[in-house]
Amino acid sequence: MSHPIKKKQRKSEFKTSSQIQLQDVYTEQNWSQNEKTLKEKLGLPGQFPYTRGVQESMYRGQLWTMRQYAGFGSAKESNQRYKMLIEKGTTGLSVAFDLPTQMGYDSDHIMASGEVGKVGVAISSIEDMDLLLQDLPLEKISTSMTINSTASILLALYIGVAQKRNINSSELRGTIQNDLLKEYIARGTYIFPPRPSLRIITDIFAYCAQHVPNWNTISISGYHIREAGSSAVQELAFTIANGITYVQCALDKGLNVNDFGKRLSFFFNCHNHFFEEIAKFRAARRLWSHFMKNRFHATDPQALKLRFHTQTAGSTLTAQQPENNIVRVGLQALAAILGGTQSLHTNSMDEALGLPTEQAATIALRTQQIIAHESGAADVIDPLAGSYYLESLTDELEKRALEYIERIESLGGVVSCIESGWIQSEIQNSAYHYQREVEAQREIVVGVNQFTQKFDPPKPLRISEEVAKEQIQRLQNFKKNRSPAQIKSLLAQVDQSAQSQENLMPSIIQAVKGGSTLGEISDQLRQVFGQHKETITI
């Protein structure tokens, strides 16, 4: 006699990552709005409040930029990876830098020992940047650089290489992350305290508005906030709050919101809860446009629009059964596209084990291309608009994010909340709650706490120690061939600019073009601004 298989009861309640309680079914009663309210909340694509997208035609007019994040080892190796990705169809560069470069140390500094080229490319001088960009048409491509504390120096190096090739700065297109507030909140690659960091950031805003008008001067990042363990609501709220802080600092400096506002961009995570992530992107556009219009009185439509890059969630990738990550990344990529992203990086399946191999990076790129050209997801503008469930979720995320933003402002603003450790504590509590849910199997991670099996992990990409030796030797040769008196004079000018209120960018550009290194300029600024000490929260 056969025995029927007993089905395991599913969880008793269903919630999103932000603990939003989900209904069994959504109807017009869940989201009943009159026609006027609907128009105010949704509008049309390309129209205020941009809930449905920042362009009228969205992907019918042009697909999102497929911008695969890459960089490892030496400038020469990374240059070869970029050329490979371009050959296979990527439409924008995205540069990862090693930790010494991010923290303002040259490759030959004692603090760089063991880290040169390990998690990104090592860049210490204009010679390194020239090699990184060798044979790449800077006047035609868009380059994103994930760099924060040393963003001013890396941008100066990029501009310096372009000028060396007789390319006018007005032709350059790209983005620097340049978001220090989230470094204090979630990531940790900061150098200077928050207030001088905000001064450097607004100097970049002012310089680029005049000299590099097609460059996005900041990528206000929720990505790392989410990677640190926040919920979707926290990612949305803290990212928008950081953006508000940057805009206010720029206004306090006398900049025009309609000028610098057009070059602000955002960077979001796309996590596992498919519908919550789509709703998050819609709520983000609506929130930002209202703040820019009603609080900061921006009138140029381009300054009202929240444009964003998305990366699939690295924290969701598992070392166990890494092929499962292809599915996770595919779903996250689709959510980002249905949410209206302007550019997208899809993670490689092996990133929980090490740097992505060429094969894994190719599969990640092909994931985007399949969605773009085979799925039909890009054939209709905002295809999910009007879904009772999605619109209800968008409203709830917006409401909860606004409550967080109001709480931050009542506590003195983002900088005060960072200095007290309040924001960090909120994220830590969220991360702790999620981990407890996984350990209790109330949250299922396929291949980790259920559906496990033995597997042979793929061989990860390793960076040879010879890379560091060659990089250090080349850097030392570069330093030997300089004029010490000239370097001293150039660094003195950087010091003078930092001590005064004049814009730092011209002196930094002149310094890198004259042979000063990233570490030397960073050290000069450390002497003026000091170094940030982390607030410990328990």
CA atoms of 174 and 141, how far apart (whole Å): 8
Answer for the pair 494, 525: CB distance below 8 angstroms, yes or no: yes
- Nearest alpha carbon to residue 225 among 239, 242, 246: 239
Answer for the pair 365, 85: CB distance below 8 angstroms, yes or no: yes
The reported pLDDT for the residue numbered 218 is 95
The reported pLDDT for the residue numbered 8 is 58
Answer for the pair 94, 141: CB distance below 8 angstroms, yes or no: no
Based on DSSP, count helices (H) and strands (E) in the chain, helices before strands: 22, 9
Q: Token pair of 433, please? A: 């709650």
CA atoms of 127 and 75, how far apart (whole Å): 9
- Nearest alpha carbon to residue 423 among 534, 277, 273: 534
Residue type at position 354 = G
The reported pLDDT for the residue numbered 5 is 53
Answer for the pair 375, 352: CB distance below 8 angstroms, yes or no: no
The reported pLDDT for the residue numbered 201 is 96
The Cβ of residue 378 has, within 10 Å, a number of other Cβ atoms equal to 18
**Residue whose pair of structure tokens reads 């997801």 in the numeric block:** 377
Give the H or E element holding residue 174. strand 173-176
Respond yes or no on whether the N-terminal peptide bond of residue 301 is cis (omega within 30° of 0). Answer: no
Give the H or E element holding residue 406. helix 388-410
The Cβ of residue 481 has, within 10 Å, a number of other Cβ atoms equal to 8
- Nearest alpha carbon to residue 480 among 470, 492, 472: 472
Q: Which residues of 332-351 are buried (b: 16+ CB within 10 A; e: fewer)?
A: bbbbbbbbbbbbbbbbbbbb
CA atoms of 365 and 345, how far apart (whole Å): 8
The reported pLDDT for the residue numbered 3 is 52
- Nearest alpha carbon to residue 506 among 210, 92, 68, 283: 210
Q: Token pair of 102, please? A: 């991010």
CA atoms of 142 and 427, how far apart (whole Å): 33
Q: Token pair of 233, please? A: 């609501």
Task: Say if domain 64-439 classifies as CATH 3.20.20.240.
Answer: yes
Q: Where are the domains of the chain?
A: 64-439
Residues in CB range of 343: below 8 A, 6 or more apart: 64, 65, 66, 67, 92, 144, 309, 310
Residues of the chain with pLDDT under 70: 1-10, 32, 535-538
Q: What are the distances in angstroms from CA 184 to CA 29, 138, 313, 469, 528?
A: 43, 32, 20, 32, 20
What strands, in cross-sheet order, belong to the sheet with 92-96?
A: 215-216, 173-176, 142-146, 92-96, 65-70, 343-345, 308-312, 264-270, 218-221
The reported pLDDT for the residue numbered 354 is 86
Q: Token pair of 202, please? A: 């607004």
The reported pLDDT for the residue numbered 252 is 95
Q: What is the DSSP string of 23-63?
A: PSS--TTTT---HHHHHHHT--TTSTT-TT-SSSSHHHH-P
* Helix intervals (H) in 305-353: 324-338
375: alpha, beta or left? (left if phi > 0; alpha if psi -120 to 50): alpha
Q: What are the distances in angstroms from CA 503 to CA 203, 253, 509?
A: 5, 11, 11
The reported pLDDT for the residue numbered 91 is 81
The reported pLDDT for the residue numbered 523 is 98
**Residue whose pair of structure tokens reads 């169809």 in the numeric block:** 89
Answer for the pair 147, 219: CB distance below 8 angstroms, yes or no: no
The reported pLDDT for the residue numbered 6 is 52
